Chain A
Amino acid sequence: MDIGQIFVDLVKDSGFAGLFTGMGWQNAVMIVIALVLLFLGIVKKFEPLLLVGIAFGMLLTNLPLGGVFHAEMWNNPDGVSYSEVLQKGGLIDILYIGVKTGVYPCLIFVGVGAMTDFGPMLANPKSLILGAAAQLGVFCAFVLAIVTGLFTPSEAASIGIIGGADGPTAIWLTKSLAPGLLGPIAIAAYSYMALIPLIQPPLMKLLVPKKERMIKMEQAREVSKTEKIIFPIMVTVFTVLILPSVAGLLGCLMFGNLLKETGVTDRLSDTAQNALMNIVTLFLGISVGATAIGATFLDVKTILIIVLGLFAFAFSTVGGLLFGRLMCLVTRGKLNPLIGAAGVSAVPMAARVAHVQGLKDNPDSYLLMHAMGPNVAGVIGSAVAAGILMSVFG
């Protein structure tokens, strides 16, 4: 028995050897990126609930020879063989089925719906227009991605949806249109959502004059329980009839909201808001992170996605603010344009940013509830935008 040879074989078979042979350097770089993302999630608290999971999934999948995720099974041009995934797949392959089939984003939307109060939007239905205007960034980024010539239209659509500022929606669309870009797009979407307090205020100051930022809005009317119960049913019926492709996302959002509002399904609402949401977030984060493999992630496309994602967020904010100014003009100064920026979805972060900026300009102005209107309208708007892109490119 050659003890030395056994030792050499052990070293050769170890993951360490994998890091220093062939394209192993890519895995090493990815591990560093995963550690940076873990730092941002844990220390800087950038969307930690998802970013920590994504970063850890990225770390796991890039440790050579681990075999927890097999990208080749999912990128098969002949289609995915689920029996092969179940027989030969690793842990994350099994979890990834929920992403690939679009189950996780929809289940997350059940939880989001159960946590969302549509009251401010029902009290001021005009805020829906701001939610629509703030989807401008989706299409600006889409056109810019086409202009680069590096992306197919389906990939460009997936990049554009980053501007919807809605992680589950971005994942839902990308897993169908550009599964190869799922990692960078999910990371860009969640990172920029966390950076909203840094991205939006300079644009607010640039585009809205102080006089308009100081506008104090009147208190909105109270919304009855009956209206809140009818709303999710009504929106589901009409919107899905117009755009059947949004049935999954919007239907789940409204179902979750109905559970909250009925008053007779408190246990289900509680489960959707907490247990279900946490479990799905855990699976979603780790499995999306696992798709960020060195060989595909370390590409000029990733850098472009990060840049275009920032454009998408910025243009969405601009769209909301400019339409807010228009509505301010039409309502003769009754609407503070800052709430337009909240139309970018990202509930409730964007509404809070609008509120804080308004408070800085006028300490008597409380915009939070007013901004929640466009904010939840943005969730509907981004789901509709994703539905349109899915029906065009899906």
Chain B
Amino acid sequence: MLSATVESMTIGESLLLSLVSMGTIMAVLLLIMGLIYLMSYLYREFAKRKKAKSGMPESATVAEPAAAQPAAPGSCGELTLVKCSERDAAMIMAIVANNMQEDLNRLRFRSIKLVDDSDNK
């Protein structure tokens, strides 16, 4: 069909070809997009497993509440604790909320890290 239309082409045929071509470009780039997502997912999973296997000490992370325990209103995300116990973290968050005169549920903490002298050496 294509070879027959190469020498001459009607406007309708050119529109149809354009539509098909745009669709093909979109499909190819969507495929590449999907592959990138797949690649980054596999890479992250692989890195996680590698880390777990090597038994490297991971920073303590307060996981999101389990499904059985509904999150407090406004809670979101994860809090990363580095050299800081959960008890200390809870106290720090309460103090910050109190000082700011804000409801704790309206604040978002991303990470709490103990900086000691050894970190600066």
Residues of A within 8 A of B (CB): 121-122, 125-126, 128-129, 131-133, 135-136, 139-140, 142-143, 146-147, 152-154, 156, 223-224, 226-227, 230-231, 234-235, 238-239, 242-243, 377, 380-381, 384-385, 388-389, 392-393
Contacts and interface: CB of A to CB of B under 8 A. Distances in A.
A231 B17 contact: no
Given A153-B14, A393-B6, A227 B43 contact: yes
Interface string B1-35: 01001111111001101110110111011111101
B34 to A, nearest CB: 8
Given A153-B6, A384-B25, A139 B18 contact: yes
Contacts of A230: 39, 43
B21 A152 contact: no
A96 B30 CA distance: 37
Contacts of B39: 227, 230-231, 234
A80 to B, nearest CB: 21
Interface of B: 2, 5-11, 14-15, 17-19, 21-22, 24-26, 28-33, 35-37, 39-40, 43, 47
B32 A235 contact: yes
A139 B14 CA distance: 9
Contacts of A142: 14, 17-18
A141 to B, nearest CB: 10
B32 A380 contact: yes
B68 to A, nearest CB: 30
A128 B6 contact: no
Contact of A135 (B17, B22, B47): B22
Contacts of A384: 24-25, 28-29
16 contacts: A125-B32, A128-B36, A132-B25, A135-B22, A143-B11, A146-B10, A227-B39, A227-B43, A231-B36, A234-B35, A235-B35, A384-B28, A384-B29, A388-B21, A388-B25, A392-B2
A146 B37 CA distance: 39
Contacts of B28: 132, 239, 242-243, 384
What 5 A-B pairs have minimum CB-CB distances, sorted nearest first?
A: A139-B18, A125-B36, A132-B29, A146-B14, A153-B9
Contacts of A128: 29-30, 32-33, 36
Contact of B32 (A152, A238, A393): A238
A146 B9 contact: yes
A153 B8 contact: yes
Nearest to A133: B26
Contacts of A143: 11, 14-15, 18
A234 B8 CA distance: 38
A392 B24 CA distance: 13
A227 B39 CA distance: 7
Contact of B31 (A122, A139, A146, A238): A238
B23 to A, nearest CB: 10
Nearest to B21: A388
Given A153-B8, A224-B43, A388-B21, A122 B14 contact: no
